[in-house]
Chain A
């Protein structure tokens, strides 16, 4: 069976589900209470092991360097796919579409640093939609080129004090790989260093390359590789590597870039599947180089998380005690989560999380020890469930 067959067979879905999916999405007044009832289905599972390593002298340290001795628990957090009211959204969540020269661009939800901002393209209206009130909002702001990237593809929109990547929504794949290389300056905007190796359909580990120049050298010889539209294409039975791709300039976070031994590359960086046939020889060059030079390392989680109980909300911080996670509860440590980010404060103000709740914090993996264990870059909270049997039982 192939993907197109399964797509056809989706017609076997229960009519009740089909009808339900055609209705208006539910409004969520208190999303976390609602999610509680269906917690098991909306769960992100984060397995927390025992973390014990040495101390660092630096003020800001990776969490893994703190001396924590956690139980072997499974921490399950409700996903934060929350329909926040308009006033609880960040400006980048509010304003998501802009039209330039008749072409609509949509926000990729990612910010980029000022050093990547190129020439101004002018001032344009940027629109957002308040789904609760069925109301469109509009502001006028400056739009810029992104250095090295064709403004036909991506632009930077200034919202507040930051710049955000917006992508041309039109489906317009390049003719060949050379066009893609040029329009996005991939040699400058993309890093192909972190990859997972698959052989015989089995994951062989996660690796890091010190340098990806050779890979781009090989890819640069494949400029004529044609764009493939093929609904029968799939990751082959042959070996392949898949790079984890994060790029500020392109506005992508941990997307994928496959290189298959039978001579294809495939990526989802551009929202649609872009597939090119680069030939077995080029693919083999890349894969063998990666296998030879890749250093095996621990896989990075998609997101860093920290679990604990809210013990206080004061002085602009949420105080989080991780005793509940500790083998010896007397070893509990208190962490401070800054509330100056609306993505955190709305969890308290709107979602009504509070003292006594066990929560999962999503952050950048760094703790500022000297500042009193401040959790750096916290961007979301969710109600957590802890289980030690590896199975989450919903309420």
Chain B
């Protein structure tokens, strides 16, 4: 079923919306969650929570043209929280590693809350991503949005692992430089 039709089902409070969502996106959302939590059963929990959250947020949202991205964002958020709430999970070390990498992008890391609102931060992040080539942007997002391992990115793009790491390292530096140059205080 077409994405906009699925969204229409949500908007009309038709519960078959969830069934259609599950049929069309379930495997991808479960895979994304499993990628983050590293546990299939937990991934299924995250997937189910995603449907509940989608049901509660459409409306007011109407993601007719970006339904997968909308759902994936929810899955990612739920899965990250799942990992953090259960620090004994082996994956929590991986999340720590990604957090450390992300910290390299922040011009002056500190314990204060983010100093700019989400709209400005969104503008900053997307502005930076717009400066990257498709391949670099996709590599960056596979790592920090989809939380892929270096090995998986390497296989996906058919690049050596060292090449992927170098690209990510440069992207992180470029993001930090971009934030400084554009005057964003995060």
Task: Answer whether residue B5 sits at the interface, using C-beta atoms and an 8 A cutoff.
Answer: no
- Residues of the A chain whose Cβ atoms lie less than 8 Å from the Cβ of B138: 20-21, 25
- Residues of the B chain whose Cβ atoms lie less than 8 Å from the Cβ of A340: none
Give chain B's interface residue range (CB within 8 Å of chain A): 35 or more
Contact B99 A2 (CB under 8 A): yes
Counting chain A CB atoms within 10 Å of each CB, the highest count among B100, B121, B145 belongs to: B100
Give chain A's interface residue range (CB within 8 Å of chain B): 35 or more
The closest CB in chain B to the CB of A234 belongs to B103
Report Cα–Cα, A297/B27, bound state, in Å: 55
- Residues of the B chain whose Cβ atoms lie less than 8 Å from the Cβ of A8: 77, 80
Contact B129 A2 (CB under 8 A): no
Report Cα–Cα, A273/B99, bound state, in Å: 11
| 10 A-B pairs in the complex with CB atoms less than 8 angstroms apart | A1-B109, A2-B99, A13-B122, A14-B126, A15-B66, A16-B66, A17-B141, A18-B141, A25-B135, A81-B163
Task: Answer whether residue A210 sits at the interface, using C-beta atoms and an 8 A cutoff.
Answer: no
**B4 CB → nearest A CB, Å:** 14
Task: Answer whether residue B20 sits at the interface, using C-beta atoms and an 8 A cutoff.
Answer: no
Contact B106 A3 (CB under 8 A): yes
The stretch that binds A, out of B39-47, B52-60, B86-94, is B86-94
**Which residue of the partner chain, among A2, A10, A232, contacts B106 with CB atoms under 8 Å?**
A2
A25-B157, A84-B158, A173-B93 are known contacts; what are 17 more A-B pairs with Cβ within 8 Å? A1-B186, A2-B99, A3-B99, A7-B102, A13-B125, A13-B145, A18-B69, A19-B66, A20-B137, A20-B138, A21-B141, A21-B142, A42-B133, A107-B160, A131-B158, A171-B94, A234-B109
The closest CB in chain A to the CB of B73 belongs to A11
Task: Answer whether residue A224 sits at the interface, using C-beta atoms and an 8 A cutoff.
Answer: no
Task: Answer whether residue B161 sits at the interface, using C-beta atoms and an 8 A cutoff.
Answer: yes
Report Cα–Cα, A271/B144, bound state, in Å: 16
Contact A109 B160 (CB under 8 A): yes
- Residues of the A chain whose Cβ atoms lie less than 8 Å from the Cβ of B159: 81, 83
Task: Answer whether residue B118 sits at the interface, using C-beta atoms and an 8 A cutoff.
Answer: yes
Using A22-B28, A41-B132, A271-B150 as known contacts, say yes or no to A106 and B161 having CB atoms under 8 A apart: yes
Task: Answer whether residue A4 sits at the interface, using C-beta atoms and an 8 A cutoff.
Answer: yes
Contact A41 B136 (CB under 8 A): yes
Report Cα–Cα, A5/B165, bound state, in Å: 22
Q: Which A residues have a C-beta under 8 Å from some C-beta of B?
A: 1-22, 25-26, 35, 38, 41-42, 79, 81, 83-84, 93, 106-110, 129, 131, 169, 171, 173, 229-234, 253, 268, 271-273
Counting chain B CB atoms within 10 Å of each CB, the highest count among A6, A19, A26 belongs to: A6
Contact A9 B118 (CB under 8 A): yes
**Which residue of the partner chain, among B72, B122, B134, contacts A26 with CB atoms under 8 Å?**
B134
- Residues of the A chain whose Cβ atoms lie less than 8 Å from the Cβ of B98: 3, 7
**Which residue of the partner chain, among A17, A22, A25, A273, contacts B68 with CB atoms under 8 Å?**
A22
Contact A7 B144 (CB under 8 A): yes
Using A41-B136, A81-B157 as known contacts, say yes or no to A6 and B105 having CB atoms under 8 A apart: yes
Report Cα–Cα, A231/B63, bound state, in Å: 33
Using A9-B125, A81-B167 as known contacts, say yes or no to A231 and B100 having CB atoms under 8 A apart: yes
Using A18-B141, A171-B93 as known contacts, say yes or no to A81 and B109 having CB atoms under 8 A apart: no
